[in-house]
Amino acid sequence: MKLKAAFFTSNPSNIDYVYSKGRLEQVKELFEVCPEVITPENFTANAAALRDVQAIFSTWGMFSFSEAHFTAMPSLKAVFYGAGATDMFARPFLARNIIVCSAWQANAIPVAEFAAAQIILGLKGYFRDMRCLKSPEDYRRHREFSGVFEDKVALIGAGAIAAKTEEFLKNYQIEVVVVPSRPERRTVSIEEAFKTAFVVSNHLPNRTDNQKVFRKEHFLSMRPGAVFINTGRGAQVDEAGMIAALKERPDLTALLDVTSPEPPAADSELYTLPNVHLSSHIAGSMNNEVVRMADYVIGDAVRWLKGEALLYRIQENMLLTANS
């Protein structure tokens, strides 16, 4: 006899998006699934059907539970979250010994792929060469770039994304320095990383103590022609200071997939500075990549049903630090 499960999210279209390409059907083969996606608005109307539910499948839009939610679901044993960070909802479940599994490792892959690609192009001087190439003479004028061979890259942050990025970069003969977010774990300071690396790539976790840690003086200290990549959070950069430094140092390049606010205000100089390259927060899982997140949690659901060890289970001590 199958255990009962239900899909939960504030935005039901996210379920169709993430659990597409047959993944929704895979869950239904494993569990007896409630026919309606559960939202904050329809929870009470479906409360009777939820009393025997033992597993929740979710993704972006998973909402926080109140005591009333837990009371209505006395049989709940596990939450399988087909997305990344669980900090916004996980603690009340963990406090009740309800298993929480997340696809945070799956979501790290496309971000790391994106960062690694930009790092290699940055080392090669591609972005600066591209914006400087305006005439035949420019073919011979811009040769002061670095190169992929035996140069230094600094990854700021030591979590899943940084680890996966470092793994991808092992195919290249470059020096990779990892700077953890926690100062007590560092062997290299952020200041030294900015001064010595040709490419600095931000992968800090989204914590309040990491806001505006990258300041004007960091950018001004960078090597000639150096590159800064941000796929972390825009708020981790002192944006006004960065803009001032980029105006003072037109040789630098900033590749920004995230900003604060997002998108930048209509009058932001980020749109007009020639040494800024913006992308619209596309590094994370999107389109066909999101299905991989469903695969990770469905895999853990299968292991849970078999009584096997779970690969992507979240523990209390991982919250806020899993990506640090």
The answer to the question of residue 323 being in a domain is no
Task: State whether 36 and 115 are in the same domain.
Answer: no
pLDDT per residue over 3-21, tens digit each?
999 999 999 999 999 999 9
Task: State whether 204 and 102 are in the same domain.
Answer: no
Task: State whether 130 and 65 are in the same domain.
Answer: no
Task: State whether 130 and 265 are in the same domain.
Answer: yes
Position 143 scores a pLDDT of 61
Position 282 scores a pLDDT of 97
Position 320 scores a pLDDT of 61
Task: State whether 17 and 87 are in the same domain.
Answer: yes
Position 144 scores a pLDDT of 60
Task: State whether 149 and 118 are in the same domain.
Answer: yes
Give the whole-angstrom CA distance, residue 219 versus residue 291. 37
Position 146 scores a pLDDT of 66
Give the residue numbers spanning the domain of 36: 4-106+287-318
Residue 274 CB coordination number (10 Å): 11
Position 1 scores a pLDDT of 87
φ/ψ region of 21 (left if φ > 0, alpha if ψ in -120 to 50, else beta) reads left
Task: State whether 56 and 161 are in the same domain.
Answer: no
Position 141 scores a pLDDT of 64
Per-block mean pLDDT, blocks of 10 residues, the chain (324 long): 96 97 98 97 97 98 97 98 92 97 94 98 93 81 72 96 97 96 95 98 92 98 97 97 98 97 97 98 94 98 98 87 40
- Kindly give, in sequence order, each residue whose CB lies less than 8 Å from that of residue 303, ignoring residues fewer than 6 positions away: 309, 310, 311
CB 161 within 8 A of CB 203: yes
pLDDT per residue over 213-267, tens digit each?
999 999 999 999 999 999 999 999 999 999 999 999 999 999 999 999 999 999 9
- CA dihedral (291, 293, 295, 298) positive or negative: negative
Q: Strand 99-102 and strand 4-8: pairing?
A: unpaired
Position 137 scores a pLDDT of 78
Closest C-alpha to 222, from 89, 322, 128: 128
Residue recorded with tokens 């010994």 = 97
Task: State whether 64 and 189 are in the same domain.
Answer: no
Structural domain count, the chain: 2
